[in-house]
Structure 1
Amino acid sequence: MQLIDGKATAEAIKGEIAIEVKEILANGGKQPHLAAVLVGNDGGSRTYVNHKVKACEQCGFKSTLLEFEETITEEELLAVVDKLNKDEDIDGFIVQLPLPKHIDETKVTLAIDPAKDVDGFHPENLGRMMIGLPGFLPATPYGIVQLLERYGIETSGKKCVVVGRSNIVGTPMSLLMSRNAKVGNCTVTLTHSRTADLAAETREADILIAALGKPEFVTADMVKEGAVVIDVGTSRVKDDSKKSGFSLKGDVKFDEVSPKCSFITPVPGGVGPMTVVTLMRNTLLAAKNR
């Protein structure tokens, strides 16, 4: 079993981006600028945004964090999005999800200029991905593709099973793994809560990608011997032995599944850091495009 170290891979990619940014600035180019919008005080969202701000510093980007109370109205938030769309200095921006229940997340996503949608959530970018045109790939699936490529994991002709069909991870992941590309050419099964005999499907997987948000859902009896397992889940589970009062758990029961795997990502330190660094790659691309 080989551990896929997302943290080390992300650090290497940030170093590559920083070198490229220095070259851009040395040639008189503009410093890439990423903005993040944070609504409310959700602990997980704040942690993710802080990671993104720190990554901007490491990559040599300019960053702006806009924070708003949970009471902000949908109309006010849409006005913020419109202002960021029109700001010539900002190359890309994200609106951190989830948003308060009184705000329509789809409406906010649709309001973002696709040319600044570095999260890759806008339907235009998802559509471009679907037919193989250049655009911003969703950060988490793109990060997983990067891990598979950098670890030299063969995907062509393999059976890939994705557990979870969210628009942010599962569905775009299934499309990326099936496309005709260096990382791709898999036969893909996209499974979900209505899948009959889910374990029978996952046991067929050469590459198993768990993205359903249920801690330690995938157990050893669900995994084929020698499979590559990518754990996207990050759930906070009560843990009195920790100072924080919780532990981070993935969707995979790591201790019992890992001995069966050829490769596996840990939680934390696997997919999470790659999601952040892929956002940096998309921001650099947005800056170049502009």
Structure 2
Amino acid sequence: MTATTLDGEALATRIRDELRDRVTAVTLATGTPPGLGTILVGDDGPSHRYVSMKHADCEGLGIASFDERLPADARAADVEAVIDRWNADPAIDAVLPQHPFPAHLDYEALFRRIDPDKDADGLHPVNLGRLVMGVDAPRACTPAGIIEMLHAHQVPVAGHHVVIVGRGLTIGRPLANMLTLKTPDANAAVTVVHTGVADLGAYTREADVLVAAAGSPAMITADMVKRGAAVVAAGVSFEGRKVLSDVADEVADVAGWLSPRIGGVGPMTRAMLMVNTVRAAERRAARAEPV
């Protein structure tokens, strides 16, 4: 068996194409395009590349982008000043503090300072609470992208068993909550495990859909995958500039669907960031409409 590729790059392109009309509509209705502001602190190489790609995505869609870069020794007060300024700026609909921050800064405390309605990442505690309640709110970008990718490739999810390896705030926990919602693209039975489990394969071999999100290179091997299962390689790590996947290459021989190391989850995460930004602008436009 050779797995069908879960092509995140092609789907992300389609999503961006569909967003263009919505960007135009908001701009015409309000006189201001959707706006995304990024905050980058320090010299982390991958972060610099990711932020540059996000601004390129904005430019391609007609979204205004604002870029604040602070030195690695920036104080918490310096970051707070940027967040406060952008919370109050009507031209900025979504704010993204690029993770990670230098170790002396409390990233989560600074993240909580963002206006929940301008939460580009969908990870503010208020929005995570809304997610648990099933209330409309910005959704975490990577989990939302994974669900979109599975749905677009017609991978059966509703009523099926999804195993997520990794319990992190960025992917594992919000994805588990999203997949249990009673919606057509979710409604799954979900198990969340982690690298501290004694026999990880005993869990992963039961999965109809397996999401690897632990950031441990080649952690998922072919003998840990049910034949014909969908496998999403969501966790990555780096060896210099080389991206390493949580899923070993050999998994392609047993999986029914597999997301690639490059062109899978990453482009979908960026696409859903654009979706969150446009949705935030649409909420602004709705508030501006006369009653």
- Is 1:252 matched with 2:254? no
How many correspondences in the alignment?
Answer: 282
Secondary structure of residue in 1 paired with 2:112? helix
Q: Which residue pairs with 2:271 in the alignment? A: 277
TM-score, normalization by structure 2: 0.94
Following the alignment from structure 1 to structure 2, what is the Cα–Cα distance between the partners of residues 185 and 286? Answer: 26
Of residues 83, 104, 124, the one that matches 1:81 is: 83
Q: Which residue pairs with 2:288 in the alignment? A: none
Query: Equivalent residues in 2 for 1:148-227 (5 A)?
Result: 148-227=150-229
Of residues 252, 266, 281, the one that matches 1:287 is: 281
Q: Is the 8 A contact 2:161 2:209 kept in 1?
A: yes
Q: Which residue pairs with 1:241 in the alignment? A: none
TM-score, normalization by structure 1: 0.94
Secondary structure of residue in 2 paired with 1:154? coil
Instruction: Quickly say closer, same or farther: Cα 1:74–1:96, change in 2 above 3 A.
Output: same
Following the alignment from structure 2 to structure 1, what is the Cα–Cα distance between the partners of residues 247 and 152? Answer: 22
Following the alignment from structure 1 to structure 2, what is the Cα–Cα distance between the partners of residues 77 and 151? Answer: 40
Q: Which residue pairs with 1:243 in the alignment? A: none
Query: Equivalent residues in 2 for 1:46-195 (5 A)?
Result: 46-195=48-197
Amino acid across the alignment from 1:266: P
Identity of paired residues, percent? 39
Following the alignment from structure 1 to structure 2, what is the Cα–Cα distance between the partners of residues 208 and 233? Answer: 12
Secondary structure of residue in 2 paired with 1:111? coil
Q: Is the 8 A contact 1:35 1:63 kept in 2?
A: yes
Query: Equivalent residues in 2 for 1:35-54 (5 A)?
Result: 35-54=37-56
Q: Is the 8 A contact 1:234 1:268 kept in 2?
A: no
The Cα offsets for residues 80-127 of structure 1, whole Å up to 9 and x where unpaired, read as 111111112111110001001110111111101001001111000001
Following the alignment from structure 2 to structure 1, what is the Cα–Cα distance between the partners of residues 78 and 115? Answer: 17
Q: Which runs of 5+ in 2 are unaligned?
A: 285-291
Secondary structure of residue in 1 paired with 2:67? strand
Following the alignment from structure 1 to structure 2, what is the Cα–Cα distance between the partners of residues 141 and 45? Answer: 19
Q: Is the 8 A contact 1:136 1:282 kept in 2?
A: yes
- Aligned residues: CA RMSD: 1.2
Secondary structure of residue in 2 paired with 1:63? strand
Q: Is the 8 A contact 2:213 2:233 kept in 1?
A: yes
Amino acid across the alignment from 1:247: K
Query: Equivalent residues in 2 for 1:12-31 (5 A)?
Result: 12-27=14-29, 29-31=31-33
Q: Which runs of 5+ in 1 are unaligned?
A: 239-245
Q: Which residue pairs with 2:289 in the alignment? A: none
Following the alignment from structure 1 to structure 2, what is the Cα–Cα distance between the partners of residues 247 and 193? Answer: 23
The Cα offsets for residues 239-262 of structure 1, whole Å up to 9 and x where unpaired, read as xxxxxxx421210002x1011111
